[in-house]
C-alpha cells in the first residue's frame, strides 16, 4: 500500500496527464489558427506554430460577417435562457411546493421528454413553424427552446431540498404564493438556475442542426452555421482561418463558464436525485 504522500503525488500526476489529453485538442486548435495555411497539415502535429500568422483572424472578419453571427447567436441564446429559466422555475415550483392531484405522474410525463431525441420532433416542428410563417426567422429557434424538461428537473430537485417551514412561515405572515416563489424559494435555488442557464446557453450556442433546418438567409444565420462559409467550395477553405473562427467562437462560452463555475458544482450537488 502506497504512503499517503506518494499516493497523492501519483493521483495528481494521473489527473494532470488526463487533463493534458483533454486540453490537447484545444491547444492544437489555437496553435493551428496561428499557423501559415501551408503548415496546417504538418506531420507530426506541432503544439506551437513555427511562424505566427495573425492574419488568419483578419481573414475570418473579411470573409464572413462574424459580428452579425455573434449578435444573432447572442440574441437567440439570451432570449431562450431568460424564457427558459422563467418557465422552468415556475414549473419546478409547482412540482415541488404545490400538492395537486397527479403531480408525480405529470412530472414523469415531463421527464419522458428527455428520452426523445430532437431529430424525432424536427419534422412536426418544421411543419408547425411553416404554417405559422416563422421559417427563416429567429422565432423558429427561440420558441421550441423555451421549454426543456431537464431545466425543470434540475430546479425542481433543488427546490425539493428546501424545508417547507419557509413556506409555512411566509404564508402565516400573509405572503402570497407568488411572493414565496419570487422572494424565498427562487433565490435559494439560484445555483440550480445558474446550472440550467449555462447548459441551455451552451447547447443553443453550439446548435448547428436546428439553424440548418429553419434558417435560409445568410444575414440571419447563427455562428455555427454561418462559419461554414469559411470552408469554401468543396471544403477547400483555409483550415487555419476556419480554426481561427472556431477559437473566436469559444470566447463567449469560456467567459460564461468562468463567471458561473462557482455555482455549477453547488447546483449539481443540490439537485441530487430526490423524487
Helix (H, G, I), strand (E, B) or coil at 226: helix
Q: Summarize pLDDT for 97-117 with one digit per residue, the tens.
A: 888 888 889 898 888 888 888
Q: What is the model's pLDDT at position 266? A: 64
- The torsion region of residue 234 among left (phi > 0), alpha (psi -120 to 50) and beta comes to left
Q: What is the model's pLDDT at position 8? A: 76
Output b/e per residue, 91-111; b: 16+ Cβ within 10 A.
bbbbbbbeeeeeeeeebeebe
Helix (H, G, I), strand (E, B) or coil at 24: helix
Output b/e per residue, 146-170; b: 16+ Cβ within 10 A.
bebbbbbbbbbbbbbebeeeebeeb
**Contact partners, residue 28, CB within 8 Å, separation at least 6:** 45, 47
Cell of 47: 503544439
Q: Domain ranges for the chain, please list them.
A: 59-271
Q: What is the model's pLDDT at position 269? A: 59
**Secondary structure, 3-state, 83-136:** HHHHHHHHHHHHHHHCCCCCHHHHHHHHHHHHHCCHHHHHHHHHHHHHHCCCCC
Q: What is the model's pLDDT at position 45? A: 66
Q: What is the model's pLDDT at position 274? A: 45
Q: What is the model's pLDDT at position 72? A: 94
Q: What is the model's pLDDT at position 201? A: 92
d(CA 161, CA 235) in angstroms, rounded, equals 52
Q: What is the model's pLDDT at position 79? A: 96
Low-confidence ranges of the chain (pLDDT < 70): 1-5, 42-43, 45-47, 232-237, 263-275
| pTM of this structure | 0.84
Q: What is the model's pLDDT at position 4? A: 56
> Which fold, 59-271?
MetI-like fold (1.10.3720)
Q: What is the model's pLDDT at position 233? A: 57
- Running DSSP on this structure, what letter comes out for residue 36? -
Q: What is the model's pLDDT at position 268? A: 59
Amino acid at each position: 500500500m502506497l504512503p499517503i504522500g506518494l499516493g497523492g503525488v501519483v493521483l495528481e500526476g494521473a489527473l494532470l496527464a488526463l487533463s493534458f489529453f483533454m486540453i490537447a485538442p484545444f491547444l492544437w486548435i489555437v496553435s493551428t489558427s496561428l499557423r501559415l495555411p501551408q503548415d496546417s497539415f504538418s506531420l507530426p502535429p506541432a503544439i506551437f506554430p513555427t511562424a505566427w500568422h495573425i492574419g488568419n483572424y483578419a481573414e475570418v472578419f473579411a470573409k464572413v460577417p462574424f459580428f452579425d453571427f455573434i449578435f444573432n447567436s447572442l440574441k437567440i441564446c439570451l432570449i431562450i435562457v431568460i424564457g427558459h429559466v422563467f418557465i422552468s422555475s415556475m414549473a419546478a415550483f409547482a412540482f415541488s411546493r404545490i400538492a395537486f392531484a397527479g403531480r408525480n405522474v405529470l412530472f414523469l410525463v415531463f421527464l419522458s421528454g428527455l428520452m426523445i431525441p430532437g431529430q424525432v420532433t424536427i419534422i412536426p416542428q418544421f411543419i408547425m413553424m411553416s404554417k405559422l410563417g416563422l421559417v427563416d426567422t429567429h422565432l423558429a429557434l427561440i420558441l421550441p427552446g423555451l421549454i426543456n424538461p431537464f431545466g425543470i428537473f434540475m430546479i425542481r430537485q433543488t427546490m425539493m431540498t428546501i424545508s417547507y417551514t419557509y413556506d409555512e412561515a411566509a404564508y402565516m405572515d400573509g405572503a402570497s404564493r407568488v411572493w414565496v416563489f419570487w422572494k424565498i424559494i427562487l433565490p435559494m435555488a439560484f445555483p440550480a438556475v445558474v446550472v440550467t442557464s449555462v447548459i441551455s446557453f451552451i447547447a443553443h450556442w453550439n446548435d448547428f442542426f436546428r439553424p440548418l433546418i429553419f434558417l435560409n438567409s445568410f444575414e440571419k444565420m447563427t455562428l455555427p452555421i454561418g462559419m461554414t462559409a469559411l470552408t469554401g467550395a468543396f471544403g477547400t477553405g483555409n483550415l487555419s482561418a476556419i480554426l481561427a473562427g472556431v477559437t473566436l467562437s469559444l470566447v463567449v462560452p469560456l467567459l460564461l463558464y468562468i463567471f458561473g463555475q462557482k455555482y455549477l458544482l453547488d447546483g449539481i450537488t443540490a439537485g441530487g436525485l430526490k423524487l
